[in-house]
A and B are shown apart, each in its own frame.
Chain A
């Protein structure tokens, strides 16, 4: 089951800033780092943020991550058409002794 809660959808026009939230608890986001994944239709997920706010090489700097308490956020600034995709957050959960994923957010570029 998904322990991390995300909004089902988010949208913006090209060039706008879009934010996706990820709400967890004291057993996961509150004490562990968060990662974010982008999934295009029919494709495997791709990592875009690790260790809460680090970008892998090759990921555009318009993607950024942050965390406050038991919630994390992914921001996409300067939204581009190719950013339309599903986005998932993830973190280790100490109570479950396993990783948990967010419910997923579909970002639409209007």
Chain B
């Protein structure tokens, strides 16, 4: 089965850091660009970041640029999101998603990040 499993969320103080992970299985990981999408409680979806299959190309939403870093370890089929200088407005459910045919065809179950003192 094609599957993404998000993990690493939790409660962190403003200014703190957290690293999210997304374990992929059931497909050839290096063949696909991967993305992080977040959803604040009761709100809509917001694209956060993306990385190409090789890891050479990365993109970020303006809201996280300079604070978040996306990376991947293709030998382990894992996607990461390093989040630094966290703010209250970063509180959200974070999903990893696979991109295929210009669409997010597979989603993880989400991992919750809460930024609060």
- Expressed in whole angstroms, the Cα–Cα distance for A107 and B109 within the complex equals 22
Chain B residues engaging chain A, CB cutoff 8 angstroms? 35, 37, 44-47, 50, 59-63, 95, 100-105, 107-110
Report the interface size for chain A: residues with CB under 8 A from the other chain: 27
Q: Out of B46, B62, B63, B102, which one reaches A101, CB within 8 Å?
A: B46
Interface residues of A: mostly helix, strand, loop or mixed? strand
Give the tally of cross-chain contacts (CB within 8 A): 65
Q: Is the CB of B47 within 8 A of A44?
A: no
Q: Is the CB of A98 within 8 A of B60?
A: yes
Residue of A nearest to B106 (CB): A47
Q: Is the CB of A47 within 8 A of B47?
A: no
Q: Is the CB of B45 within 8 A of A50?
A: no
Residue of B nearest to A36 (CB): B103
CB proximity to B under 8 Å, residues A31-54: 32-33, 35, 37, 44-47, 49-51, 54
Q: Is the CB of B59 within 8 A of A98?
A: yes
Q: Is the CB of A104 within 8 A of B45?
A: yes
- Expressed in whole angstroms, the Cα–Cα distance for A92 and B109 within the complex equals 23
Query: How close is B94's CB to chain A, nearest CB, in angstroms?
Result: 11
Some 6 contacts from A to B, beta carbons below 8 A apart, are A33-B103, A35-B104, A44-B95, A45-B104, A51-B101, A98-B60
